[in-house]
Structures are given as structure tokens and as C-alpha cells.
Structure 1
């Protein structure tokens, strides 16, 4: 393996985590500062993501007889995640929402790893427990500061379960770009159908639509295509642990870009999360 090959997976993984954090920032900014509502944001996000992925996949058509990519189950998981995610961010700060989301993702994917009987090393388990302790610290501080309304917390945790299921199913993809495209094409009509029960309260403006398109076309469409290409090369447990970096990235972005604040206790908890991730994804040294 060349040095370039050795760096490729970490760089792609880091780029994907930045895209995931951008989704939290774009969604929170749109729902807080523009005139778009949560249901409209979700529909535009998924529809624009589907269009971009369809355009990208036109040059990557499978060979005749290739198995069908994506599934209705994965499409439904994608829709459930995007929908609950948007409605939760009407009440949650970017960093708090991201930590709830990916903390739940981590638990879901680790359960998947255990069900698949993947071996889990003691240092890896210790790292995950340390990262979860950091997440628990963040949630406790957010709750005392009134930043974690119960309904919004439950919605974001539901989004995390759905995203964890989607990520686990993505490990089976043989053609990641086509699978992501097909899942978006299945999820987009579900989001459009969701507009009907909210018809009386639908609203949108140009800034809100622009942020929804950016979230769907760039941070979601391209980001998820990258994630589907990365997850087959990561163990379920490692893929779960590395996603715990997203709350920290989103929290920093919330401070720098959205004017949100983090207390010293929250910064300390973020450092604990990063330390747990580093321990969880560290590869064991080969035996002499």
C-alpha cells in the first residue's frame, strides 16, 4: 500500500464528517434565521440531493445484470432521519442536536456490531464508553441551560436510530453512489407526501430554500455518497466511534458561525469525546 492509499481513507472519512456537521449548521441556520418550515426544508433537502445524485450517477450506470442498488427500507430510514432531524432543530442548538444525533447513532451501530458478532477489543470498548461519558456530560449541561427540550431530544434520538440503521445497511452497498442515489429517489417522494398534513403551515423564502438546497445537494447528496463509499471499509464499531467527532465540529461551527455559546464544561466534555474516539479507532500493534 502506498502512502497515498494509506491516507485516502482517513481523508475521505474526515471530509464526510465535515459534511455531516455542515448539515446540522445549515439546518439550524435555516430554521432559526429564515422563513422556511421544517417539513419544507426536509422536502427540498431530499429532492435536491436526489437530483444531484441522479446527475452524478448518470456516468456510473451498472453493467447489465448488476444487482439493484438501494432499497425501500434504506430509503425509509433516510426519510425518517431527515424528517426527525429537521423538526428537532427547530428547538435545539446545532452542537447539542449533533451530539444527541451521533450519540444515538453510535449506540445503534455498536448494537449492530454486537449482533453481527464482530470482535470488540477492550481498548475499543473503553474508548466508546469514554466518548459516551463525554456525551452524557454535554447533555446534562445542555439540559440545565434549557437547551434540550424533551420533545426535540426524542426527535433527534429517533433521527439517530434511523441514521444508524441507514449506515449499517450502507455497508452492504456494492456501488455506493448508485445506492445513495436510489435511496434518495425513494426518500424524496416520502418527504413530499409529508407536506400534505402540514399544508396550512408551509412557508419558505429564498434564503431558506438556498440553505435547504445546499444541505441536500452538497452536504447530504455528496456527503452521503462519500459515507457509503467509506463504511464498507470500516468496522461497524469504528464507523460509529468516528462519527462522534461530528458534534464537536458542529459545536465549534455553531460558536463561530451561528453565535451560539459553549460553557467551559461543554468544552471539557467535547475533549472527553475526542479522547474516546481516538482510543476507540486506534489499531492494535501487530504482534512481534
Structure 2
């Protein structure tokens, strides 16, 4: 196993854990009414900006370029498209959970991510291998199997908001696959959300509700789970196909469920174990299936 492959695997695992941490922190903050959705989103993004700028400056010092501007190589500055998708994802995610229970919200979010990425993949001319279709079906079935017992009829507003959040995250992921400087791109993407955040705060000022615990959760979500997590995700995307990037994210609800056991004293159920097996098995089929069948086809030639 070469160093580049190890880098992609480690980056992917860290990013998925960060995504799950975001889910747990948001659930705890909004579920306990520790902070309103708008301020959670704002603090989350501002915290991400601070940590990312710090990391970028540190990186520049290590490469003997401390006198250079924040962008590092002067060319990689993210994009307004990615920044817009990042803001829409974060905002719709927070507000969506106000009117949705956790299971329903997670199913809508990751379902939207899957559907969006797969449709874009097919429309762009990339046909899925049979193993990818099977793996996708098995993994998504495991995810649904985990969530179904707690499903409730979602509100129309919540359904629309969480669907928008999932689609925005799918586009942010696709844009990130072309990143040449993950740290710089992620930093500038976060920085470009500032105008959007300021407009948001102006319109939601009268409904502000903030507690110290809510601020702490938002900061942890923004600085670590979002700022560092999304930077590492951009690194991982360099070695993942569109389908792989879509399917591995189905692992996030499983990690989040484990986080619920650790931080919210939830029990490990037989259903959780069974669904985890399905999701992990499906992910393995997608990641390794195409490679295996391509190798077999090449040997027959």
C-alpha cells in the first residue's frame, strides 16, 4: 500500500468522523434549545474561518513562505460557487432540524446527497458498474434499515430545507474534487461565506437565543468538525471517484449513532449492528468492486 493511498484512506476516515461530529453537535445544541439555528450557523462558520486561517499561516511558515499572502500559491482561492453551496448546506441543515426529528432529517439529507451525486455522475456520461449499483443498493438499504423505526411524517418546510442541504453538500463535494490546494481552497470558501452570514444575522437578530453551551457546541462544530474536517475532505476527494465519495458518506449516520451511544447514553441495539454490517458491506462493494472486475476483464484480454 503506497503512501498516497494511505493518505486518502486516513483523510476519508477523519472527514467522515468530523461529519458525524457535526451531526451530533448540531442535534445536541438545537435539540436542547441551547442556541438558535441562525447563530449556530454563524458561529460555526466564523469559527471555521479562524481555525483555517491559522492553519494556513502555519503551513506557510513551514514552507518558508511566511511573507506570502494568505492564499499560499496565489492561485488557489476556492470559488464563490463552493462558498455559496457551503453556506446553503450549513444554513438549511440547521433550520431543517428545527422541524424534523433526527432520523427523518438524516435520511432526507443523505438521500439527497446520494441522489444528486449519482444523477450528476450518470448525466456526465459515467456509467455505473454492476458492482457499484449493487453496493449502492446494499449500503443505502442498511442506512434506511437503521432509520426507519424512528421515521415520522416530516413537515413540508423541514423536508425541503434538508433536501436543499443535501443537494448543496453534494455540489460542494463535486467542486472540491478539482481542488489543487485543499487548505487554501477551504479557507477561502469559508471566508466568502461572511457576507451571507452577516445578512443572515441582520434578518434574524430579533430571534437570537444564545447560551454558553450553545456557543461551545457551535465553535467545536465550526473549528474542528467543519473547518479541519472539510479541509481534510478536500484532500480525500483527490483520490475518490464521484460514486465512492457519495457512498462512503453513508457511513456517517453509523458513526453518529455510535456518538449518540457515547455522548447521549444511547444503547447499542441489534438493529444498529445489522445496519452497520449492511452499510459497511455496501461501501466495500462500491470501493473495491469496480477495481476487481476491471482487473478480471483486463486479464481476459
Q: What is the TM-score of this pair, normalised by structure 1?
A: 0.89
Distance verdict in 2 for CA 1:150–1:277, change over 3 Å: farther
Partner of 2:86: 78
What SS does the corresponding residue of 1:163 show, helix, strand or coil?
A: helix
Compare CA radii of gyration and give the structure with the larger one.
Answer: 2
Partner of 1:271: 277
Distance verdict in 2 for CA 1:248–1:67, change over 3 Å: same
Q: Is the 8 Å Cα contact of residues 98 and 246 (structure 1) preserved in structure 2?
A: no
Q: Is the 8 Å Cα contact of residues 89 and 164 (structure 2) preserved in structure 1?
A: yes
Q: Which moved more, 1:11-20 or 1:195-204?
A: 195-204
What SS does the corresponding residue of 1:222 show, helix, strand or coil?
A: helix
Q: Aligned-pair distance for 1:132?
A: 2.5
Q: Is the 8 Å Cα contact of residues 95 and 254 (structure 1) preserved in structure 2?
A: no
Q: Where does the alignment leave 5 or more consecutive residues of structure 2 unmatched?
A: 61-69
Partner of 2:189: 183
What SS does the corresponding residue of 1:14 show, helix, strand or coil?
A: helix
What SS does the corresponding residue of 1:70 show, helix, strand or coil?
A: coil
How far apart, CA to CA, are the structure 2 residues paired with 1:187 and 1:261? Answer: 38
Partner of 2:34: 35
Provide the aligned C-alpha RMSD in A.
Answer: 2.4
Q: Is the 8 Å Cα contact of residues 96 and 139 (structure 1) preserved in structure 2?
A: yes
How far apart, CA to CA, are the structure 1 residues paired with 2:253 and 2:45? Answer: 22
What SS does the corresponding residue of 1:244 show, helix, strand or coil?
A: helix
Q: How does 1:1-288 map to 2 (within 5 A)?
A: 2=2, 4-58=3-57, 59-60=59-60, 61=70, 66-94=74-102, 96-143=104-151, 146=152, 148-260=154-266, 264-265=270-271, 268-283=274-289, 284-285=291-292, 286-287=295-296, 288=299
CA shift digits 1:89-137 (9 cap, x unpaired): 2344555533432232122111222223234211011111222333344
Q: Aligned-pair distance for 1:206?
A: 1.0
Q: Aligned-pair distance for 1:169?
A: 0.6
Q: Is the 8 Å Cα contact of residues 82 and 189 (structure 2) preserved in structure 1?
A: yes
Q: Aligned-pair distance for 1:51?
A: 1.4
Q: What is the TM-score of this pair, normalised by structure 2?
A: 0.85
**Aligned positions, number:** 284
How far apart, CA to CA, are the structure 2 residues paired with 1:88 and 1:187? Answer: 19
